[in-house]
Structure 1
Amino acid sequence: MQFYYSYQPVIDFFLLSLGFAYSQQIALRAGVFSIGTAAFAALGGYLVAILVTRTEMPIWLVIPAGAGIGAFGGYILSIPLARLRGAFVAIATLAFVKVIIALLLYFEDFTGGGSGDQQHPARHEHMVIGADGSAGHLHQLVGRAVHPGADFFGPGAG
């Protein structure tokens, strides 16, 4: 388990990259080359970070809202893109990414700008709830899913 904790940032980055790769594959399988995935992830990620840090809402209520705002952004973008084909779709989605980045950087007071939201919340005990009702972190929940017999939520965990 020490190996996992020492390489946790690398593993987290790998899993995020894997998720982005699968989301890009879905668009490619539909025959569309879209670069808008980064903008949809940024919309959802910033919404989740702002709501969790400023309102202290439970993260399990906020994550579906982040996915919803990303899906809503995709729906809004799909209306004008429905008439485009080929490379023009890629160019338009790249422009959408640039607009979202510019907005997130411009509204620095609200989003934190390029450094992100620096208001780290106090440790939320409701972020991840184990099967036995005890709280922990996401990597502990994933570890429990992989190794059900291990006690990741025991003394000294998290």
Structure 2
Amino acid sequence: MEIFGIGSAEFVLLLVLAVIMFGPEKLPEVSRRAARIVHFVRAFANQATNQLKDELGPEYKDLKPSDLNPKTLVSKLLLADVENDLNDIKRELDGVKADLNGSAADVGQARSEVKTIVGSTTQSQATGSEPAAPATVTPLVAWDSEAT
């Protein structure tokens, strides 16, 4: 568990150091002062953020202080359009993938048909009997005898 980026072991160490430095009598007063300071800093930061939002206009109403980091700001403002384009391309590639999967299934079916025909021919040659009539195979591509 972390509080303000401080782990639990570090927090216990700070607490022990505070008891040693300030003593158990003054520790409640010091902790109240620290809480007031934290409250003041938070209020100041919220006020500054609200003022910045008001001055920048309605386009930046969802602005957070973490968005002022240059890396975050660039990715949020400039790369948003690119991200939409990338999503469109991804959807198109998913369609191409589906088409290729369908074609692969057709090729697999044709392969199994050819394997069956070759297997029956090989088996009939081994036994010396007449080969069985080949199953009708629909060609995937029309045969062009002039091209060969």
Q: TM-score, normalised by structure 2?
A: 0.28
- Specify which structure has the higher proportion of helix: 2
Q: RCO greater where, 1 or 2, for CA within 8 Å and sep 6 or more?
A: 1
Q: Which has the larger radius of gyration?
A: 2
